[in-house]
Amino acid sequence: MSRFENTIVIRDKTISSTSRPYIIAEMACAHDGDLDKAKRLVDSAVEAEADAVQFEILDPDDNVVPDSEMYQILKKLYFTPDQWAELTEHARQFDIAIFNFAYDPVSLELGFELKVDVVKLNSSDLLHTDMLQRCAEVGLPLSMGTGGSTLEEIATALDFYSGHGGANVFLMQGVQSFPTLNEYARIRRMGILRDTFECVVGYADHTAGHTDLAKIIDLVALGAGACVLEKHITWDRSEKGIDHESALEPAELKHYVALIREAQVVLGEGDVTALIEPDQKYRLFQKKTIVAAQDIAADEVITREKVRFLRNMRVPGVPPTQFNLLDGKSAARAISKYDQIQLDDVT
Protein backbone atom coordinates (compact mmCIF):
# COMPACT_ATOMS: atom_id res chain seq x y z
CA MET A 1 0.00 0.00 0.00
CA SER A 2 1.36 3.43 -0.95
CA ARG A 3 2.34 5.92 1.72
CA PHE A 4 0.66 8.62 -0.32
CA GLU A 5 -2.93 9.42 -1.20
CA ASN A 6 -4.01 8.21 -4.64
CA THR A 7 -6.93 10.63 -4.59
CA ILE A 8 -6.38 14.30 -3.73
CA VAL A 9 -9.29 16.66 -3.13
CA ILE A 10 -8.86 20.41 -3.74
CA ARG A 11 -11.96 22.37 -2.80
CA ASP A 12 -14.71 20.39 -4.52
CA LYS A 13 -12.53 18.79 -7.22
CA THR A 14 -10.76 15.46 -7.19
CA ILE A 15 -7.37 14.58 -8.63
CA SER A 16 -6.86 10.90 -9.41
CA SER A 17 -6.06 8.57 -12.27
CA THR A 18 -9.78 8.28 -13.06
CA SER A 19 -10.77 11.94 -12.65
CA ARG A 20 -10.77 14.65 -15.26
CA PRO A 21 -7.38 16.38 -15.72
CA TYR A 22 -6.76 19.16 -13.22
CA ILE A 23 -5.53 22.34 -14.94
CA ILE A 24 -3.38 24.94 -13.19
CA ALA A 25 -2.84 28.36 -14.77
CA GLU A 26 0.67 29.26 -13.62
CA MET A 27 0.87 33.04 -13.28
CA ALA A 28 4.47 32.88 -12.04
CA CYS A 29 6.01 36.35 -12.29
CA ALA A 30 4.16 37.35 -15.46
CA HIS A 31 2.63 40.20 -13.44
CA ASP A 32 5.99 42.00 -13.61
CA GLY A 33 5.38 43.41 -10.14
CA ASP A 34 2.13 45.09 -11.24
CA LEU A 35 -0.83 44.15 -9.02
CA ASP A 36 -3.44 45.21 -11.57
CA LYS A 37 -1.81 43.01 -14.19
CA ALA A 38 -1.81 40.14 -11.68
CA LYS A 39 -5.56 40.61 -11.21
CA ARG A 40 -6.08 40.53 -14.97
CA LEU A 41 -4.12 37.29 -15.16
CA VAL A 42 -6.36 35.79 -12.49
CA ASP A 43 -9.36 36.91 -14.53
CA SER A 44 -7.96 35.25 -17.65
CA ALA A 45 -7.52 31.97 -15.74
CA VAL A 46 -11.12 32.20 -14.57
CA GLU A 47 -12.37 33.06 -18.05
CA ALA A 48 -10.52 30.05 -19.47
CA GLU A 49 -12.14 27.84 -16.80
CA ALA A 50 -8.88 26.58 -15.35
CA ASP A 51 -9.23 24.71 -12.07
CA ALA A 52 -6.59 26.75 -10.26
CA VAL A 53 -4.36 29.79 -10.52
CA GLN A 54 -0.84 29.53 -9.16
CA PHE A 55 0.84 32.45 -7.38
CA GLU A 56 4.61 32.51 -7.03
CA ILE A 57 5.03 34.06 -3.61
CA LEU A 58 8.58 34.94 -2.68
CA ASP A 59 10.61 37.07 -0.32
CA PRO A 60 13.96 38.13 -1.83
CA ASP A 61 15.62 38.35 1.59
CA ASP A 62 14.61 34.79 2.43
CA ASN A 63 15.36 33.46 -1.03
CA VAL A 64 18.78 34.44 -2.38
CA VAL A 65 21.94 36.12 -1.14
CA PRO A 66 21.81 39.96 -1.47
CA ASP A 67 24.76 40.27 -3.86
CA SER A 68 23.08 37.96 -6.39
CA GLU A 69 21.86 39.40 -9.69
CA MET A 70 18.64 37.48 -9.09
CA TYR A 71 18.10 39.39 -5.86
CA GLN A 72 17.62 42.66 -7.76
CA ILE A 73 15.22 41.02 -10.22
CA LEU A 74 13.16 39.55 -7.39
CA LYS A 75 13.00 42.92 -5.68
CA LYS A 76 11.27 44.37 -8.74
CA LEU A 77 8.78 41.51 -8.79
CA TYR A 78 8.09 41.51 -5.06
CA PHE A 79 4.56 41.93 -3.72
CA THR A 80 4.04 42.88 -0.09
CA PRO A 81 1.90 40.64 2.15
CA ASP A 82 -0.89 43.22 1.86
CA GLN A 83 -0.71 43.07 -1.93
CA TRP A 84 -0.87 39.27 -1.88
CA ALA A 85 -3.85 39.51 0.44
CA GLU A 86 -5.58 41.85 -2.01
CA LEU A 87 -4.85 39.54 -4.93
CA THR A 88 -6.07 36.53 -2.95
CA GLU A 89 -9.28 38.36 -2.07
CA HIS A 90 -9.74 39.18 -5.76
CA ALA A 91 -9.35 35.51 -6.72
CA ARG A 92 -11.75 34.40 -4.00
CA GLN A 93 -14.60 36.08 -5.86
CA PHE A 94 -14.43 33.20 -8.32
CA ASP A 95 -14.69 29.43 -8.28
CA ILE A 96 -10.98 28.84 -8.71
CA ALA A 97 -8.43 27.28 -6.37
CA ILE A 98 -5.31 29.16 -5.30
CA PHE A 99 -1.88 27.51 -5.27
CA ASN A 100 0.98 29.09 -3.34
CA PHE A 101 4.19 28.36 -5.19
CA ALA A 102 6.23 29.19 -2.10
CA TYR A 103 9.88 29.96 -2.76
CA ASP A 104 10.99 30.35 0.86
CA PRO A 105 9.79 29.77 4.45
CA VAL A 106 8.49 33.32 4.82
CA SER A 107 6.33 32.95 1.71
CA LEU A 108 5.18 29.51 2.81
CA GLU A 109 3.84 30.94 6.07
CA LEU A 110 2.22 33.85 4.24
CA GLY A 111 0.33 31.37 2.09
CA PHE A 112 -0.96 29.59 5.17
CA GLU A 113 -2.14 32.93 6.59
CA LEU A 114 -3.94 33.66 3.32
CA LYS A 115 -5.59 30.23 3.49
CA VAL A 116 -4.45 29.06 0.08
CA ASP A 117 -5.75 25.71 -1.12
CA VAL A 118 -2.48 24.05 -2.14
CA VAL A 119 1.24 24.54 -1.58
CA LYS A 120 3.80 23.98 -4.29
CA LEU A 121 7.48 23.62 -3.55
CA ASN A 122 10.02 24.35 -6.22
CA SER A 123 12.64 21.69 -6.85
CA SER A 124 15.09 24.13 -5.26
CA ASP A 125 13.33 23.33 -1.97
CA LEU A 126 13.01 19.61 -2.56
CA LEU A 127 15.49 18.99 0.25
CA HIS A 128 14.53 22.03 2.37
CA THR A 129 13.70 20.10 5.52
CA ASP A 130 12.09 23.05 7.33
CA MET A 131 9.61 23.65 4.51
CA LEU A 132 8.89 19.96 3.99
CA GLN A 133 8.17 19.51 7.68
CA ARG A 134 5.81 22.49 7.79
CA CYS A 135 3.94 21.22 4.73
CA ALA A 136 3.56 17.82 6.34
CA GLU A 137 2.36 19.35 9.62
CA VAL A 138 -0.20 21.67 8.03
CA GLY A 139 -1.51 18.95 5.74
CA LEU A 140 -2.56 20.98 2.70
CA PRO A 141 -2.17 19.17 -0.61
CA LEU A 142 1.46 19.52 -1.72
CA SER A 143 2.60 19.88 -5.32
CA MET A 144 6.25 18.86 -5.41
CA GLY A 145 8.34 20.08 -8.34
CA THR A 146 10.96 17.59 -9.49
CA GLY A 147 12.81 19.50 -12.24
CA GLY A 148 16.57 19.05 -12.21
CA SER A 149 16.30 16.48 -9.41
CA THR A 150 17.59 12.93 -9.27
CA LEU A 151 15.40 10.00 -8.29
CA GLU A 152 17.49 9.69 -5.13
CA GLU A 153 16.74 13.30 -4.19
CA ILE A 154 13.03 12.84 -4.82
CA ALA A 155 13.07 9.69 -2.69
CA THR A 156 14.85 11.54 0.13
CA ALA A 157 12.29 14.37 0.02
CA LEU A 158 9.32 12.00 0.03
CA ASP A 159 10.80 9.92 2.86
CA PHE A 160 11.29 13.06 4.97
CA TYR A 161 7.81 14.38 4.15
CA SER A 162 6.05 11.09 4.92
CA GLY A 163 8.21 10.61 8.00
CA HIS A 164 6.64 13.78 9.41
CA GLY A 165 3.11 12.64 8.65
CA GLY A 166 2.72 13.96 5.09
CA ALA A 167 0.69 11.91 2.63
CA ASN A 168 -1.18 14.44 0.48
CA VAL A 169 1.37 14.98 -2.29
CA PHE A 170 1.63 14.84 -6.06
CA LEU A 171 4.79 15.05 -8.16
CA MET A 172 5.16 17.49 -11.05
CA GLN A 173 7.49 16.54 -13.89
CA GLY A 174 8.82 19.46 -15.90
CA VAL A 175 12.06 20.59 -17.48
CA GLN A 176 13.08 24.02 -16.22
CA SER A 177 14.28 25.40 -19.52
CA PHE A 178 12.46 28.32 -21.14
CA PRO A 179 11.47 27.33 -23.71
CA THR A 180 12.09 23.59 -23.42
CA LEU A 181 13.28 21.94 -26.62
CA ASN A 182 11.03 19.11 -27.76
CA GLU A 183 13.71 16.47 -27.27
CA TYR A 184 14.17 17.59 -23.66
CA ALA A 185 10.50 17.30 -22.64
CA ARG A 186 10.86 13.57 -21.82
CA ILE A 187 7.28 13.10 -20.75
CA ARG A 188 7.83 9.38 -20.18
CA ARG A 189 9.84 10.28 -17.06
CA MET A 190 6.54 11.13 -15.42
CA GLY A 191 5.47 7.49 -15.59
CA ILE A 192 8.71 6.46 -13.91
CA LEU A 193 7.95 8.87 -11.05
CA ARG A 194 4.43 7.48 -10.71
CA ASP A 195 5.53 3.84 -10.68
CA THR A 196 8.61 4.37 -8.51
CA PHE A 197 6.99 6.46 -5.80
CA GLU A 198 3.34 5.39 -6.18
CA CYS A 199 2.22 9.02 -6.30
CA VAL A 200 -0.24 11.01 -8.32
CA VAL A 201 1.79 12.75 -11.06
CA GLY A 202 1.43 15.79 -13.28
CA TYR A 203 3.22 17.62 -16.05
CA ALA A 204 4.41 21.22 -16.10
CA ASP A 205 5.00 22.22 -19.70
CA HIS A 206 7.65 24.76 -20.66
CA THR A 207 7.82 24.31 -24.44
CA ALA A 208 7.62 27.43 -26.61
CA GLY A 209 4.22 29.02 -26.07
CA HIS A 210 3.85 30.33 -29.62
CA THR A 211 4.09 26.88 -31.22
CA ASP A 212 1.32 24.48 -32.14
CA LEU A 213 2.96 21.84 -29.95
CA ALA A 214 2.44 23.97 -26.83
CA LYS A 215 -1.32 23.68 -27.37
CA ILE A 216 -1.32 19.89 -27.67
CA ILE A 217 1.74 18.55 -25.82
CA ASP A 218 -0.32 18.06 -22.68
CA LEU A 219 -2.51 15.63 -24.61
CA VAL A 220 0.61 13.47 -24.83
CA ALA A 221 1.12 13.96 -21.09
CA LEU A 222 -2.46 12.84 -20.41
CA GLY A 223 -1.86 9.70 -22.41
CA ALA A 224 1.27 9.08 -20.35
CA GLY A 225 -0.67 9.26 -17.08
CA ALA A 226 -0.70 12.93 -16.04
CA CYS A 227 -3.51 13.78 -13.64
CA VAL A 228 -2.44 17.42 -13.24
CA LEU A 229 -1.40 19.91 -15.93
CA GLU A 230 0.39 23.17 -15.22
CA LYS A 231 0.59 25.86 -17.91
CA HIS A 232 2.31 29.23 -17.76
CA ILE A 233 0.15 32.21 -18.65
CA THR A 234 1.00 35.76 -19.64
CA TRP A 235 -0.91 38.79 -20.80
CA ASP A 236 1.16 39.43 -23.91
CA ARG A 237 4.24 37.43 -24.99
CA SER A 238 5.49 40.35 -27.05
CA GLU A 239 6.18 42.23 -23.80
CA LYS A 240 8.85 39.57 -23.12
CA GLY A 241 8.20 39.35 -19.39
CA ILE A 242 9.49 36.65 -17.02
CA ASP A 243 9.05 33.14 -18.49
CA HIS A 244 7.11 34.58 -21.44
CA GLU A 245 8.72 32.03 -23.78
CA SER A 246 6.65 29.19 -22.40
CA ALA A 247 3.43 31.05 -21.60
CA LEU A 248 0.04 31.14 -23.28
CA GLU A 249 -1.86 34.38 -23.79
CA PRO A 250 -5.48 34.58 -22.54
CA ALA A 251 -7.17 33.52 -25.78
CA GLU A 252 -4.70 30.68 -26.20
CA LEU A 253 -5.26 29.55 -22.62
CA LYS A 254 -9.00 29.42 -23.18
CA HIS A 255 -8.54 27.33 -26.32
CA TYR A 256 -6.04 25.09 -24.49
CA VAL A 257 -8.41 24.39 -21.59
CA ALA A 258 -11.25 23.61 -24.00
CA LEU A 259 -8.98 21.19 -25.86
CA ILE A 260 -8.00 19.40 -22.65
CA ARG A 261 -11.64 19.15 -21.61
CA GLU A 262 -12.44 17.50 -24.95
CA ALA A 263 -9.52 15.13 -24.46
CA GLN A 264 -10.74 14.09 -21.03
CA VAL A 265 -13.96 12.86 -22.65
CA VAL A 266 -11.89 10.75 -25.02
CA LEU A 267 -9.82 9.32 -22.17
CA GLY A 268 -12.96 8.29 -20.31
CA GLU A 269 -13.90 8.65 -16.67
CA GLY A 270 -14.83 6.11 -14.03
CA ASP A 271 -14.75 2.38 -14.87
CA VAL A 272 -13.47 2.31 -18.44
CA THR A 273 -13.58 -1.50 -18.48
CA ALA A 274 -17.39 -1.60 -18.34
CA LEU A 275 -19.08 -2.22 -21.70
CA ILE A 276 -20.95 0.84 -22.95
CA GLU A 277 -23.91 1.02 -25.35
CA PRO A 278 -21.77 1.04 -28.55
CA ASP A 279 -19.88 -1.99 -27.22
CA GLN A 280 -23.14 -3.85 -26.66
CA LYS A 281 -24.36 -3.03 -30.17
CA TYR A 282 -21.00 -4.07 -31.65
CA ARG A 283 -21.10 -7.38 -29.76
CA LEU A 284 -24.54 -8.18 -31.12
CA PHE A 285 -23.50 -7.28 -34.64
CA GLN A 286 -20.06 -8.89 -34.68
CA LYS A 287 -19.60 -11.67 -32.13
CA LYS A 288 -19.94 -15.25 -33.38
CA THR A 289 -22.19 -17.62 -31.46
CA ILE A 290 -23.20 -21.28 -31.60
CA VAL A 291 -25.88 -22.01 -34.23
CA ALA A 292 -27.32 -25.22 -35.60
CA ALA A 293 -25.55 -26.50 -38.71
CA GLN A 294 -28.61 -28.61 -39.58
CA ASP A 295 -32.14 -29.23 -38.35
CA ILE A 296 -31.94 -30.87 -34.94
CA ALA A 297 -34.90 -32.85 -33.62
CA ALA A 298 -36.09 -32.73 -30.03
CA ASP A 299 -34.13 -35.19 -27.84
CA GLU A 300 -31.38 -35.43 -30.49
CA VAL A 301 -27.83 -35.34 -29.03
CA ILE A 302 -25.80 -32.22 -29.78
CA THR A 303 -22.34 -32.89 -31.25
CA ARG A 304 -19.67 -30.65 -32.74
CA GLU A 305 -20.61 -31.69 -36.28
CA LYS A 306 -24.16 -30.43 -35.74
CA VAL A 307 -23.19 -26.82 -34.89
CA ARG A 308 -21.35 -23.95 -36.48
CA PHE A 309 -19.84 -20.74 -35.11
CA LEU A 310 -21.46 -17.87 -37.04
CA ARG A 311 -22.58 -14.29 -36.61
CA ASN A 312 -26.29 -14.21 -35.87
CA MET A 313 -26.78 -10.45 -35.33
CA ARG A 314 -30.20 -10.84 -33.67
CA VAL A 315 -29.90 -11.73 -29.98
CA PRO A 316 -26.95 -12.53 -27.68
CA GLY A 317 -25.95 -16.17 -27.93
CA VAL A 318 -23.55 -18.74 -26.51
CA PRO A 319 -19.88 -18.12 -27.43
CA PRO A 320 -17.82 -20.92 -29.03
CA THR A 321 -15.73 -21.21 -25.86
CA GLN A 322 -18.82 -22.58 -24.05
CA PHE A 323 -19.61 -25.38 -26.51
CA ASN A 324 -18.59 -27.84 -23.78
CA LEU A 325 -21.82 -26.86 -21.97
CA LEU A 326 -23.82 -28.13 -24.96
CA ASP A 327 -21.68 -31.04 -26.15
CA GLY A 328 -23.37 -34.41 -25.60
CA LYS A 329 -26.57 -32.86 -24.28
CA SER A 330 -30.01 -33.59 -25.74
CA ALA A 331 -32.02 -30.92 -27.50
CA ALA A 332 -34.99 -29.83 -25.38
CA ARG A 333 -36.84 -28.67 -28.48
CA ALA A 334 -36.67 -28.91 -32.25
CA ILE A 335 -33.98 -26.54 -33.48
CA SER A 336 -33.98 -25.30 -37.07
CA LYS A 337 -30.84 -24.92 -39.14
CA TYR A 338 -29.03 -21.63 -38.33
CA ASP A 339 -31.03 -21.09 -35.12
CA GLN A 340 -28.92 -20.08 -32.17
CA ILE A 341 -28.62 -22.78 -29.54
CA GLN A 342 -29.03 -21.36 -26.05
CA LEU A 343 -28.08 -23.09 -22.80
CA ASP A 344 -31.75 -23.67 -21.97
CA ASP A 345 -32.25 -25.44 -25.32
CA VAL A 346 -30.56 -28.61 -23.97
CA THR A 347 -31.16 -31.06 -21.15
Q: What pLDDT is attached to residue 1?
A: 66
**35 and 171 co-located in one domain:** yes
Does the residue 2 lie in any domain?
A: no
pTM of the predicted protein model: 0.84
Q: Dihedrals φ, ψ of 52, to 5°? A: -150, 155
Domain with 300, as residue range(s), is 277-345
**Which pLDDT score is estimated for 216?**
84
Say if 272 falls within a structural domain: no
Kindly state whether residues 68 and 96 are assigned to the same domain: yes
Same structural domain for residues 237 and 310?
no
Number of independent structural domains in the chain:
2
Whether residue 221 is contained in a domain is answered as: yes
Q: Look up the CATH number of the domain holding residue 309.
A: 3.90.1210.10
Q: What is the DSSP string of 277-290?
A: HHHHHHHHHH-EEE
The parts of the chain modelled with pLDDT lower than 50 are none
Residue 258 has a pLDDT of 93
Are both 180 and 289 inside the same structural domain? no
Judge whether 1 lies within some domain: no
Spell out the long-range contacts of 73-81 with Cβ–Cβ below 8 A and sequence spacing 24 or more: 76/32, 76/33, 77/29, 77/31, 77/32, 77/33, 77/242, 78/33, 79/31, 79/33, 79/35, 79/38, 81/110, 81/113
In a shared domain, residues 103 and 154: yes
CATH of the domain at 100: 3.20.20.70
- pLDDT in the model for residue 26: 95
pLDDT at residue 272, rounded to an integer: 81
Residues 257 and 225 in one domain: yes
pLDDT of residue 243: 65
Phi, psi for residue 192 in degrees, rounded to 5 = -65, -40
Q: Across all residues in the chain, what is the average pLDDT? A: 92
Judge if 167 and 297 occupy the same domain.
no
Q: Which of 228, 247, 267 is the last residue of a domain?
A: 267
